[in-house]
Amino acid sequence: MGTQAASVEISEPLIHDSDKISAVEADDSSGPIPEWKDQITIRGLVASALLGGLFCIITHKLNLTVGIIPSLNVAAGLLGFFLVKSWTGVLSRLGFSVKPFTRQENTVIQTCVVACYGLAFSGGFGSYLVAMDERTYKLIGPDYPGNRAEDIKNPGLGWMTGFLFVVSFLGLFSLVPLRKVMVMDYKLTYPSGTATAMLINSFHTNTGAELAGKQVRCLGKYLSISLVWSCFKWFFSGIGDSCGFDNFPSLGLTLFNNTFYFDFSPTYVGCGLICPHIVNCSVLLGAIISWGFLWPFISQHAGDWYPADLGSNDFKGLYGYKVFIAISLILGDGIYNLIKIIAITAKEMFSVSSKQTNLPVVRDVLDTETAKLQLEQKRRDEMFLKDKIPTWVAASGYVALVAISTATMPIIFPPLRWYLVLGSYIIAPALAFCNSYGTGLTDWSLASTYGKIGLFMIASLVGSNGGVIAGLAACGVMMSIVSTAADLMQDFKTGYLTLSSARSMFVSQLVGTAMGCVIAPLTFWLFWTAFDIGSPDGPYKAPYAVIFREMAILGIEGFSELPKHCLALCCGFFVAALVVNLLRDVTPRKVSQFIPIPMAMAVPFYIGAYFAIDMFVGTVILFVWERLNRKDSEDYAGAVASGLICGDGIWTVPSAILSIFRINPPICMYFGPSSSS
């Protein structure tokens, strides 16, 4: 995912390294290439389902806690390689004949896993779907203008699964005919897809296989440490949300009351190891600005700017400032980058068309290296074009899915009329192309931005009579299409560079999406039944649920009910987001690398500063590691981070089962001021 995956909301650009990589070389690429059907194997699909389930759990956990989802491609590639290699090794020792594990099969597994857990993000389980539920409605307030009791749809396993099946496949069919144009003619880089191809190609060389083995052992070591630590923490977490290491006042009680503390979370430390330094520092800066200065300043005006006797989660008080200022930063960043990507896309397309009008200059004499590269390029082109996906299949598939979805969506969401659904699908391919092209150039997927545009437009068109549900559902439609289309093009690029069949890539994406339509709702249901999802005082706050519902209400009601001076502050931060992004683009690299990212700064404004401390610890560890041994940090940092994240994610399953059976932790470790204080 030009992502959530290699992919990821803030899952988007925040978690990607945008270094451009132009080619991938492989030591053993001259061997026979399996037919496209042989690239898709039963063992590969089983491995994909297992890893897809694990990464869906991890994605849900991050979505429902802080909303930042790092790229899990390294972990998916390593674990996929490890599972199949282990399986073939065991069978070989038992005397069975096994098919060799090829880079093409590895690529299919990677594609399937990414497609599966990508739906845990684009499916809206931490944003637009949860925004429809009763808890979010009550949190905003029954008496809040535009927040109607009729605009409630609580999560249900049946309708969520049906919704995903209806909307998730459209993006795959929308751009299939353009795969040659995007990958071969325009030669778009798709940095995450290219980096994934490099990783997979390296696994299938002698030196790369040895390094991959070491990386897997490293990942397993830190996964075990993280799992044991998460289990140990559980015993001290007691009943409620104020016990255990998650509430350890490591920086003192005063800072703890302003959410500044280290909560010993392996997941967030792992995120800090994966995310670029500027992202982690931006998150910490946002925490300092909001929880260190802005919220204490606004709190001093309680009784003047807003009634002093309001609850901590009342939108007419401080809570309203937190949510709306975060929204203004997110929208400012999203709108700026949308305009930027459209401008870059238009410029590059014009440049490509201009170049194609020029006569080519052919060199008669080529050096050996150039001839070799051209031969490899020709082989890739032939392989990519060999197993074509007929245009009529893509067109008829899209039309059939549009017809099914147009008829089904109003049944699931009655306020979303059929003509609004049809209109969304008519313009969706154009938006999907823009997003896919932009992702290919910058590795920056703006799926959630397109989703928010659809949310505002449909909510305002439908109005107060059902506009909230209609807008949130339209957000899901738009977000799913543009996200999966960009993911598919990333996968085509990966397949192109690993000599994998375009048809096997497409089929594996379809299979992975089908898996995700089942696995993502099931794993979310585990969280929903076991934990108190959406509670502002609990670990699973679902922060984007409130933000997305408020966006829908804003699309209907406007800004009339904001607290005093809130609109002025929102405008100021919106403009600040535009200015900061502009400065990042116009200043030299040596300056811009130190300018923060507004989208990253916005996250702690609403959630709190604690996870910013954890991520900063991760970035400090990585920084020191890079200074001591850069090669080791490049080879193993991703494995260490993935191990920390996966171990904590695995513990979520037994923790949820214990919670379902009402088995509580035996000890409450609590910290408070001494009696003399």
Q: Are 640 and 626 in contact (CB under 8 A)?
A: no
Tokens of 32: 């026979």
pLDDT at 4: 38
Is the pLDDT score of 281 beyond 50? yes
Return the top range by mean pLDDT from 408-412, 557-561, 606-610, 656-660: 408-412
d(CA 473, CA 205): 46
How do residues 408-456 score in pLDDT, each as one tens digit? 999 999 999 999 999 999 988 888 888 888 788 767 677 888 888 889 8
Beta bridge partners of residue 237, listed in sequence order: 668
Q: Are 491 and 48 in contact (CB under 8 A)?
A: no
| Prediction pTM value | 0.83
Is the pLDDT score of 16 beyond 70? no
pLDDT at 296: 94
Tokens of 159: 């309708």
pLDDT at 138: 92
Average pLDDT over residues 507-514: 96
How do residues 664-673 score in pLDDT, each as one tens digit? 899 999 888 8
Average pLDDT over residues 108-125: 93
pLDDT at 200: 87
d(CA 544, CA 403): 31
pLDDT at 445: 78
pLDDT at 156: 95
pLDDT band at 1 (very low <50, low <70, confident <90, very high): very low
pLDDT at 24: 40
How do residues 467-509 score in pLDDT, each as one tens digit? 999 999 999 999 999 999 988 898 899 899 888 988 999 999 9
Helix axes 42-65, 630-660, angle to 10 degrees: 80
**Residue 668 DSSP class:** B
d(CA 644, CA 638): 10
Q: Are 236 and 243 in contact (CB under 8 A)?
A: yes
pLDDT band at 356 (very low <50, low <70, confident <90, very high): low
d(CA 335, CA 598): 12
Average pLDDT over residues 130-135: 94
Beta bridge partners of residue 668, listed in sequence order: 237
**Residue 237 DSSP class:** B
Return the top range by mean pLDDT from 195-204, 549-558, 572-581: 572-581
Query: Could you give the residue ranges of the DSSP H alpha helices within 235-262?
Result: 253-257
Query: Could you give the residue ranges of the DSSP H alpha helices within 498-531?
Result: 502-530
Q: What percentage of the chain exceeds 70 in pLDDT?
A: 91
Is the pLDDT score of 581 beyond 80? yes
Q: What percentage of the chain exceeds 90 in pLDDT?
A: 41
**249 CB-side CA count, 13 A:** 13
pLDDT at 357: 54
pLDDT at 21: 39
How do residues 283-307 score in pLDDT, each as one tens digit? 999 999 999 999 999 999 988 998 8
Average pLDDT over residues 531-547: 87
pLDDT at 15: 38
Phi/psi for 263 (5° steps) reads: -105, 15
How do residues 308-330 score in pLDDT, each as one tens digit? 887 777 778 898 899 889 888 98
Beta bridge partners of residue 306, listed in sequence order: 302
* Long-range own/partner contacts, residues 243-249 (CB < 8 A, 24 or more apart): 243/665, 243/667, 243/668, 243/669, 243/670, 244/665, 244/668, 244/669, 245/669, 246/539, 247/670, 247/671, 248/671, 249/671
Tokens of 104: 């093409």
Tokens of 377: 């390029």
